Amino acid sequence: MTRLIVWRHGNTDWNAGARVQGQTDVPLNELGRRQAADAAELLVRLRPAAIVASDLSRAADTAAALAGRTGLPISTDERLRERFFGDWQGLTMTEVAETRPEEHARWTAGEDVIGGGVETLDDLGKRVSEALLDAALLAPPGGVVVVATHGAAARQGVGHLLGWPREQLRTLRALQNCHWVELTHDEARGWQMSAYNVGVFADRPVPPPV
């Protein structure tokens, strides 16, 4: 049974400030680097066969913490980038709500099309799920692949891969920084979620998945 670990990156200053990152290349902060190192201590026990990461530094550097413990190379895939948030990028969520209230209301309601140049959920789910499927091929049957990506990207990509409607996907809380989803695959049942929001810092507040 193949296992796919979909891992959210560590904390950044923009996470801490509730600022919309999207595809802005914001680096890990000190907490994020520590989270990545601690999470890698758990993930190395899974004996991954391959590591894949978004090319944005906060995800690639999170993956590097695990690569340093396994000796595995990191394959980067830009399809694993966070949702593109268009005109929202760089704003705090409070600023978005104040200056773009209609778009913010659509986002809060979980609508697919937001406006303001924000990538649709459908497009996000398609590109991330395609990257996840390609990543899974890097392991032999029964192997483990770890994929370092982003909050919204992880949730939407996993949901698209499982064939979940948006209404069902909205019942999942946001992934905490450096937490992950575990998916398994076999020929009889296809892809299934076996664990969600697994990680070291279970008692920490959940930053927005942006």
- Give the full edge-to-edge strand order of the sheet including 144-149: 74-76, 50-53, 144-149, 2-8, 180-186, 190-198
The answer to the question of whether 108 is labelled as a binding residue is no
Query: Alpha helix (H) ranges present in 109-191?
Result: 121-136, 151-162, 166-169
The answer to the question of whether 164 is labelled as a binding residue is no
Please pick, among 9, 104, 150, 179, the residue that the annotation labels catalytic. Answer: 9
Q: Please, are residues 128 and 149 in contact by the beta-carbon 8 Å criterion? A: yes
Please pick, among 30, 82, 119, 130, the residue that the annotation labels catalytic. Answer: 82
138 backbone dihedrals φ, ψ, rounded to 5°: -80, -15
**Quick check: is 103 catalytic?**
no
Which residues on adjacent β-strands are paired with residue 50? Answer: 145
The answer to the question of whether 62 is labelled as a binding residue is no
**Quick check: is 185 catalytic?**
no
The answer to the question of whether 122 is labelled as a binding residue is no
The answer to the question of whether 11 is labelled as a binding residue is yes
The answer to the question of whether 10 is labelled as a binding residue is yes
The answer to the question of whether 14 is labelled as a binding residue is yes
Which residues sit in the known binding site?
8-15, 58
Q: Catalytic residue positions?
A: 9, 82
Which residues sit in the known binding site for substrate?
8-15, 58
